[in-house]
Chain A
Amino acid sequence: MKRARKGRGFPAAGVPFLLWTAFFVAIPLIYILCMSFMKRAATWGVVAEFSLGSYAKMLSPAYLRVFGESLWLSVLTTGFTLLLGYPFAYFTAQLSPKRRSLALLLVIVPFWTNSLVRIYGWMILLRSQGVVNALLIALGVIDTPLKLLYNFGAVLVGMVYALLPFMILSVYNSISKLDPSLTEAARDLGAGKWRAFWSVTVPMTRAGIMAGCVLVFIPSVGLFFISDLLGGAKTMLLGNLIKNELLTARNWPMGAALSVVMMAATLLVIGLYQKLSGEKSLEGIV
């Protein structure tokens, strides 16, 4: 009885955490939410006057197109990272312990360099006089340089490149925990290699797949520097839009409203993840 009562009270040790959450999470969020329902001031800042203007504006085709394009890019990014990351993680898990750590190190090493610098690296590779074009011309595959930079494809390549490690690591995490005797049992019971893979390995690593998808999808919606650098002015994504509204157009309510929508979309994805994976906590993706 005593114990149960104790459990219901708020422990003193939790106070710092509560303060931390309040200052760095709750208050900024409420601030953003409030701001999104205000009006833009003529010169600077906001006017404390209720308005749904920012949200109404979002329904215009220009904004909807950005939403659509952002979403499409995020879906493609998630798909491609899964397509590339799963086999990589699968074969890494079969390696000897020594080679396995080497392979995982190779996945992690790029993190030691600033991601902006790495994206500049892609610009060097992809531009008209860049490495890829030079190579293709030298091999005689093409005569004139291909336009590889400043388009949707370049942004997709950059996104997949930047987010692939997250997919690999979360998928690897669940593949490495897979009991090899399960696939052996499937083979023993008459399943061919592919059948065993689809009926046992994939379902057993679903948690890792889902976690990887969430970890890739969510940041991909908000990343703006990749499309800034590789997409040129043509590709406008949700992240760019928010940045522009806040810093360039100085339309803070609009920026706030877009942020709120993005957050809602993110929560929706996490909710979907929880429902599909049957996972109640988010421990699977951390």
Chain B
Amino acid sequence: MEDVLLSLQEICKAFGETEALAGVSLDVREGEFLTLLGPSGCGKTTTLRIIAGLESPDSGRVLLRGEDMTGWEPNRRPVNTVFQSYALFPHMNVAKNIGYGLRLKKTPKEEIRRRVDEMLGLVQLPGFGGRMPNQLSGGQRQRVAIARAIVNDPAVLLLDEPLGALDLQLRRQMQTELKSLQKDLGITFIYITHDQEEALNMSDRIGIMNEGRILQLGKPDEIYERPQTRFAAEFIGQSNIFTAEVAGREPNGTLTLLYAGGVVKACGEGTPGERVTLSVRTERIRFGEECRYGFALTGIVRAHSYTGGMLRTTLGLSDGQELIVSGMGGGGDRAEVGETVHIYWKPACAAIVERGDQHEARA
């Protein structure tokens, strides 16, 4: 692959009986913003700590520009971490905190002062050098933590849920700032979060993690539109997940499937007669009978739930199953409860997240 900077190869790690990582492999490209997204306990923080050298893997290798750095002490690795708790040194002022790494490298005093000032400007905290960490707000501490890491010019910057402790508005603002900082400096970021919006918004690529594995790695829109696993479909966005039986394949490659007494269409792999699990995003379902994609399902409106920007409509299908459709609720042309409606979706919006054979293998 082109420009691989950091490479994880089959990393396994267990803490006592608990398996934290079960074979994680990952190639990180030079200059990219890569996010590991997953629920707490999925192994994303352990992955980060192994890259930083704060944890050593039971097996597997960590390569940086092709060089094996698995056994290196954390202080020898050209990576720096922004910790979840910021971990600013409480007994040092902001300038001392930021200059810590430079002082260890025996950088001349003048140079340190210049670089620290430059960093303070970069994170928009000019003149804050003399403050102590406990005199700063959460957002300011966050900026200092970032400055303290990037002042060392790391090959990779590791960020462990850096915005987790901030309120929503500040988080949005910091997302934008971080992203532009990353672009301007051209530093490779490995970013950890359990917040899907954050991941989709900031990343060049996202790795979905669960139970110590990377389930899917791809661009945000790939991850969102074409989830490959049921977990990815459920964890990001809101999906209707249901099983259907493959009926056949059309000449253009689209699958036709039997579902709820009707026919639906999807893109993906499947053999006739096989039962597969489909995921359709709630906002990708459209109302109408038009036959652009050659199929439509009939349902009865059971309930509406209004969530501000979006209106979520629960439909009851003929065989008793339910589907959720979300759309702009403001138009006023919404179907009343009890009304019969028709729905359809673009076949490419229905992803097969589980196949029959996988079903059996699990059971």
Contacts and interface: CB of A to CB of B under 8 A. Distances in A.
Interface string A186-228: 1111111001000110011000000000000000000000000
A221 to B, nearest CB: 30
A182 interface: yes
Contact of B100 (A179, A189, A192, A203): A189
B232 interface: no
A203 B91 contact: yes
Interface string A236-262: 000000000000000000000000000
Interface string B73-90: 111000111011101111
B90 to A, nearest CB: 7
A188 B105 contact: no
Contact of A179 (B52, B79, B87, B91): B87
Given A179-B85, A184-B74, A185-B81, A190 B91 contact: no
A204 B90 contact: yes
Contacts of B83: 181, 184-185
B104 A188 contact: no
A190 B105 contact: yes
Contacts of A191: 75, 100, 104
A188 B91 contact: no
A80 to B, nearest CB: 26
Given A181-B83, A195-B104, A188 B52 contact: yes
Contacts of B248: none
B181 to A, nearest CB: 19
Given A184-B54, A184-B74, A185-B81, A190 B101 contact: yes
Given A181-B87, A200-B89, A203-B91, A187 B101 contact: no
B75 A185 contact: no
B335 to A, nearest CB: 53
A183 B221 CA distance: 39
Contact of A189 (B85, B90, B91, B152): B152
Interface string A146-190: 000000000000000000000000000000000101101111111
Contacts of B73: 187, 192
A192 B87 contact: no
A87 to B, nearest CB: 21
A179 B133 CA distance: 15
A98 to B, nearest CB: 13
A195 B253 CA distance: 63
B215 to A, nearest CB: 28
B104 A189 contact: yes
B148 interface: yes
A189 B92 CA distance: 15
A197 to B, nearest CB: 12
Nearest to A204: B91
B75 A190 contact: yes
A63 B179 CA distance: 73
A199 B75 CA distance: 14
Contacts of A187: 53-54, 73-75
A189 B54 contact: no
A220 to B, nearest CB: 29
Interface string B128-142: 000000000000000
A260 to B, nearest CB: 38
A199 B85 CA distance: 19
A185 B89 contact: yes
A185 B87 contact: yes
Given A181-B83, A181-B85, A188 B54 contact: yes
Interface in B99-128: 100-101, 104-105
Chain B CB within 10 Å, residue with most, of A186, A188, A190, A195: A188
A189 B150 CA distance: 10
Contacts of A185: 81, 83, 87-89
Interface string A1-21: 000000000000000000000
Nearest to A202: B91
Given A181-B85, A187-B53, A189-B149, 13 more contacts: A182-B87, A184-B74, A185-B89, A187-B54, A188-B53, A189-B75, A189-B101, A189-B148, A190-B75, A191-B104, A203-B91, A204-B89, A204-B90
11 contacts: A179-B87, A181-B83, A181-B87, A184-B83, A187-B73, A187-B74, A188-B52, A188-B75, A189-B100, A189-B152, A190-B75
The 3 A-B residue pairs with the shortest CB-CB distance in the complex, in nearest-first order: A185-B87, A189-B101, A181-B87
Interface of B: 52-54, 73-75, 79-81, 83-85, 87-91, 100-101, 104-105, 148-149, 152
